[in-house]
Amino acid sequence: MKKKVKPNVRRYSLILILIAMVGICSVLSDSFLTTTNLTNILKQVSIVTICAFAQGMIIITGEIDLSIGFLAGMSGTFACILYVATGNLALAFLFGIFLGALVGAVNGLFVAHFKLPAFIVTLAMQSVCFGAVNFYTGGQNVYKIGDFKQLGQSDLFGFLPITVFFMLLMLAITHVVLRYTKFGRYLYAIGGNSEAANAAGVQVRKMKWIVFIVSGIFAAIAGMVMMGRLNAGIPGEGRGFETDAITATVIGGTSFSGGAGTAFGTFLGALIIGVLNNIMNLLGIDSYVQMIVKGFIIIVAVLVDSFSKKQGRTIKIMASTFDVKK
Amino acid sequence: MEKIEYKLKLEHISKSFPGVKALDDVNISLRPGTVHAVVGENGAGKSTLMKIINGLYQRDEGKVFLDGKEVHFSGPLESSEAGIAMIYQELNFFPELTIAENIFMKRQPGSAGCVKWKEMNKRAQEILDENDLSYDPKMKIRELSIANIQMLEIVKAVAFKAQVIIMDEPTSSISDKEVKLLFDTIERLRAQGISFLYISHKMEEIFKIADDITIIRDGKSIISGPVSDFTEDSIIAHMVGRSIDNIYPKEAIPVGEVAFEAKKLCSEGMFKDVSFQVKKGEIVGMAGLVGAGRSEVCRAIFGLDPLDSGEIELHGKSYTPKNVSHAIRNKILMITEDRKKEGIIGVRSCRENITIASHRVRKGIFMNLKKEIEEAEKMSDLLKVRFAGIETPIGSLSGGNQQKVLLARWLSLESDLLILDEPTRGIDVGAKLEIYNIMMDLAKQGYAILVISSELPELLGMCDRIYVMNQGYMTGCLKRQDFSQEKVMQLATMGEK
């Protein structure tokens, strides 16, 4: 009887765009469609993509987290320091996660309980994180981090780079959380209409608090993987991750006004940017020119999105006008 | 020419959208200096018709005559220049700009890109004075109430030579007092020869203000004529296409034990010493004027607003409101007054809107997707929600269907007290009937139902008892055999001048 509404047409359009890009790129450059290069793309996007999953959940909730980048740098660096001091990788890893959760909890406290704008709070925390780690290290990099580098440089099962593994793991976690848990449902509800969510019994404050903590944890994991990959604890690393993460989520179809978006969309968004960066490098395009191109691509992506939304809206209005039957 | 006797005449208007015929041979004749009501259920095509008149949509067939001359507008700008002004349901204004700036938007006096502020404010003051509106033109729009802004829109339209004013449900978000003000304005302008097309659901208003009426059903104009030729029942019958003897499906059913009892509930500055009880199988009404504190009492019980003191007993057990999820766990459920703001999560699917509060479709922290779909299908079938499927975003449904989805949300839970705050506001007659039927069904199943409504006939028709509130106090309780509009109004206005 009842027809199912087509789910997420946009996700398929993203896949098509990605396939088209891969097709075009393989014509443009012989070295594009090789295993090494494709693996490279995945490695390059993995860290920012982990941040993007966090940002995605936050944006779905109708908030924003600008502290992600320097939080990653701070947690990663402190984890390195603890590892160098103790030699205990598990302890260092857990400490990094703890720091992420702590900063997330502070963000959540001010956003959820004191109802301050997330933009301002997380912008301030960005500064706090950067200041804290540079104060402690005196701005010096932490070298000789020994096996900590395994977090970013080893291969699992002989073929799967661990950074890619972490990215896929976080993809799976984000996907399950958003799609299969009540927490995920609540995030969409809050982003869609937080007052209505509250009136339906969702504990909005608590959920917002939790999502900021989750975001902090994701950022910390990204930071530690990054330090492993760089084979050093570099306090200033992570600059700009939050905006790259926003870019990936927005290209991936997450609604900036909250209430809509998926983990896979974000993943595809990140891959699209990754492929774009890669092909421009392969073609030897000047890095400043690359930035110009990227900037315009973002605008085009959002333009396409808003256009398709507008069309969707007129259809919706019409549907509501005529009370679609069956 | 004999056609001049009509200010605006629509002949055989048809309009199709992909897949639907929105309008089919619609005829309306608006006489100069009259108010012409256009009524019909949601989805009957009223809004489309208005958009065709002002040029937002183009008609497929038919003719529009203004002062006997056929006209074709390519957009709202052209139609407003020709003297047709449209006052939308959602008002268009700039909250941070002043009254004068809003009145003269895109018409600012001045030259070379500079605005002559003095002149603009002076002219705005003149316009306000002419219409007995005592605002400072330098006041910002956001300081005004919705009703005042509405008035301003009308005044603005007239100031810029509008001859025909189209109003789309202008009273849907303003208080009774403000409605009176609006009607005074309409009457005054009508006397000046301005014509109104007035879209509304509300029978009361139509009989109060309209001269002529056209009823639209399924995109067709069913009947037109002077309002005096119609009765409320005949209008409803034409709207829904069948006759309705008594629109309230009230039945006498046995009432059970006391399910809910409130004793001396107080909230600083909101309400004081409010006591009442609701029994199983009973539909209890709460009447009162806007601001009497009815919603506030219920919101406090539901944990949405603070409660300072008082006792509540649920089936004899004490209950203290903490927050909404606590209330839901204690089987107190409420549909809030403002559906858009505190009811629906518009961008999400009906499925998610139905199951958001249901613990039945979860296993621990995980959703049971299969069960969730079953539950959503079951509940929406039960309540006869009309939509393309449970994945349809709830925001795209009509008001009545949204309300049914919200009912579905609560009916999938157990309930000791179901509070409905203005359950039929802004929904069409057909859907209202369905809501009444659902209420009656629930009462039969033993639900204890508390209804707040500003439509008195609805309370008189559906309730077993009605509590009346006045300025934060409970002023009385009427049993069904004692019901009358006068008694309720007396209690609701006691002590007021």
Is this complex scored with an ipTM above 0.90?
no
Stretch B346-368: mean pLDDT? 90
Query: Between these two residues, B208 and A2, which has the higher pLDDT value?
Result: B208
Cβ-defined contact of A197 to B345 (cutoff 8 Å):
yes
Q: How far apart are CA B46 and CA B199, in angstroms?
A: 7
Closest Cβ–Cβ partner in B346, B369, B388 for A324:
B388
Q: For B52-93, how does the pLDDT look when each residue is reduced to its tens digit (9 = 90+)? A: 888 888 889 999 998 888 988 888 888 888 889 888 766 677
Residue B347: its chain A contacts at CB < 8 A? 192-193, 255, 259-260
* Weakest-pLDDT range from A278-282, B102-106, B258-262: B102-106
Q: How far apart are CA B94 and CA B105, in angstroms?
A: 9
Q: How confident is the prediction for chain B on average, in pLDDT? A: 87
Q: How far apart are CA A27 and CA A312, in angstroms?
A: 35
Best B16, B342, B355 residue to mutate vs chain A (most A CBs within 10 Å): B342
The alpha carbon of B60 is separated from its chain's Cα centroid by a whole number of angstroms, namely 31
Residue B358: its chain A contacts at CB < 8 A? none
Pairing of strands B465-470, B473-479: antiparallel
Q: Is the pLDDT of residue B497 over 50?
A: no
Residue A227: which pLDDT band, with cuts at 50, 70 and 90?
very high
Q: How far is A306 from chain B (nearest CA, A)?
A: 15
Neighbours of A111 (CB within 10 A): 26
Q: Torsions phi, psi of B390, nearest 5?
A: -70, -15
Q: Is the pLDDT of residue B44 over 80?
A: no
Q: What is the DSSP code string of B406-458? A: HHHHHHTS--SEEEEESTTTT--HHHHHHHHHHHHHHHHTT--EEEE-S-HHH
Tell me the three-class secondary structure of A51-118, residue by residue: HHHHHHHHHHCCCCCCCHHHHHHHHHHHHHHHHHHHCCHHHHHHHHHHHHHHHHHHHHHHHHHCCCCH
Q: How far apart are CA B105 and CA B128, in angstroms?
A: 16
Stretch B390-416: mean pLDDT? 90
Which pLDDT value is given to residue B78? 87
Any B CB within 8 A of A255 CB: yes
Any B CB within 8 A of A322 CB: yes
Residue B3: which pLDDT band, with cuts at 50, 70 and 90?
very low
Q: Is the pLDDT of residue A207 over 50?
A: yes
Best B168, B326, B330, B345 residue to mutate vs chain A (most A CBs within 10 Å): B345
Contact A304, A296 (CB under 8 A): no
Q: How far is A256 from chain B (nearest CA, A)?
A: 13
Q: How far is A9 from chain B (nearest CA, A)?
A: 13
Cβ-defined contact of B323 to A255 (cutoff 8 Å):
no
Stretch A257-262: mean pLDDT? 90
Q: Is the pLDDT of residue A115 over 60?
A: yes
Best B217, B305, B396 residue to mutate vs chain A (most A CBs within 10 Å): B396
Q: For A148-159, how does the pLDDT look when each residue is reduced to its tens digit (9 = 90+)? A: 888 888 888 878
Q: How far is B141 from chain A (nearest CA, A)?
A: 25
Show the DSSP H helices in B194-338 as ranges. Answer: 203-209, 232-240, 294-301, 324-329
Handedness of CA B357, B363, B365, B368 (dihedral sign): negative
Which pLDDT value is given to residue A147? 84
Any B CB within 8 A of A9 CB: no
Which pLDDT value is given to residue B43? 64
**From A195, which residue of chain B is nearest by alpha-carbon distance?**
B342
**From B372, which residue of chain A is nearest by alpha-carbon distance?**
A180
Best A322, A325, A326 residue to mutate vs chain B (most B CBs within 10 Å): A322
Which pLDDT value is given to residue A323? 36
DSSP 8-state code for residue B31: P
Residue B385: its chain A contacts at CB < 8 A? none
Stretch B303-311: mean pLDDT? 92
Q: Is the pLDDT of residue B261 over 90?
A: yes
Cβ-defined contact of B20 to A318 (cutoff 8 Å):
yes
Burial of B40 (0-12, 13-18, 19+ CB in 10 A): buried
Tally of residues, chain A: 326
Closest Cβ–Cβ partner in B344, B362, B369 for A193:
B344
Any B CB within 8 A of A3 CB: yes
Q: How far is B102 from chain A (nearest CA, A)?
A: 27
Q: Is the pLDDT of residue A314 over 60?
A: no
Residue A321: its chain B contacts at CB < 8 A? 22, 43, 45, 47-48
Which pLDDT value is given to residue A156? 84
DSSP 8-state code for residue B466: E
Cβ-defined contact of A189 to B323 (cutoff 8 Å):
no
Residue B22: which pLDDT band, with cuts at 50, 70 and 90?
confident
Any B CB within 8 A of A182 CB: yes
Any B CB within 8 A of A260 CB: yes
Q: How confident is the prediction for chain A on average, in pLDDT? A: 87
Q: Is the pLDDT of residue A3 over 50?
A: no
Q: Is the pLDDT of residue A276 over 60?
A: yes
Cβ-defined contact of B392 to A325 (cutoff 8 Å):
no
Cβ-defined contact of A183 to B365 (cutoff 8 Å):
yes
Closest Cβ–Cβ partner in A4, A185, A316 for B391:
A4
**From B366, which residue of chain A is nearest by alpha-carbon distance?**
A181
Stretch A250-272: mean pLDDT? 90
Residue A222: which pLDDT band, with cuts at 50, 70 and 90?
very high
How many contacts does A have with B, using Cβ atoms within 8 A?
A: 121
**From A7, which residue of chain B is nearest by alpha-carbon distance?**
B391
Cβ-defined contact of B392 to A5 (cutoff 8 Å):
yes
Which pLDDT value is given to residue A305? 65
Helix (H, G, I), strand (E, B) or coil at B16: strand
**From A196, which residue of chain B is nearest by alpha-carbon distance?**
B342
Q: Is the pLDDT of residue B373 over 90?
A: yes
Q: How far apart are CA A180 and CA B370, in angstroms?
A: 11
Could you tell me the pTM of the whole model? 0.77
Burial of A321 (0-12, 13-18, 19+ CB in 10 A): buried
Which pLDDT value is given to residue B430? 79
Q: Is the pLDDT of residue A135 over 80?
A: yes
Q: How far apart are CA B65 and CA B12, in angstroms?
A: 12
Residue A322: which pLDDT band, with cuts at 50, 70 and 90?
very low
- The token duo for B178 is 């403000």
Stretch A118-123: mean pLDDT? 94
Q: For A172-206, how does the pLDDT look when each residue is reduced to its tens digit (9 = 90+)? A: 999 999 999 999 999 999 999 999 999 999 999 99
Contacts of B244 (CB under 8 A, 6+ apart): B233, B236, B237, B433
Cβ-defined contact of A196 to B390 (cutoff 8 Å):
no
Cβ-defined contact of B348 to A5 (cutoff 8 Å):
no
Closest Cβ–Cβ partner in A195, A316, A323 for B341:
A195
CA-nearest of A98, A89, A51 to A222 is A51
Which pLDDT value is given to residue A8? 52
Q: How far apart are CA B161 and CA B82, in angstroms?
A: 9
* Weakest-pLDDT range from A278-292, A309-323, B286-300: A309-323
Which pLDDT value is given to residue A6? 46
Helix (H, G, I), strand (E, B) or coil at B280: coil
Q: For A45-104, how does the pLDDT look when each residue is reduced to its tens digit (9 = 90+)? A: 999 999 999 999 999 999 999 999 999 999 999 999 999 999 899 999 999 999 999 999
Cβ-defined contact of B328 to A201 (cutoff 8 Å):
yes
Any B CB within 8 A of A36 CB: no
- The token duo for B418 is 């179901």
Contact B314, B259 (CB under 8 A): yes
**From A189, which residue of chain B is nearest by alpha-carbon distance?**
B345
Which pLDDT value is given to residue A5? 42
Q: How far apart are CA B76 and CA B55, in angstroms?
A: 5
- What is the residue type of A133? V
Cβ-defined contact of A199 to B45 (cutoff 8 Å):
no
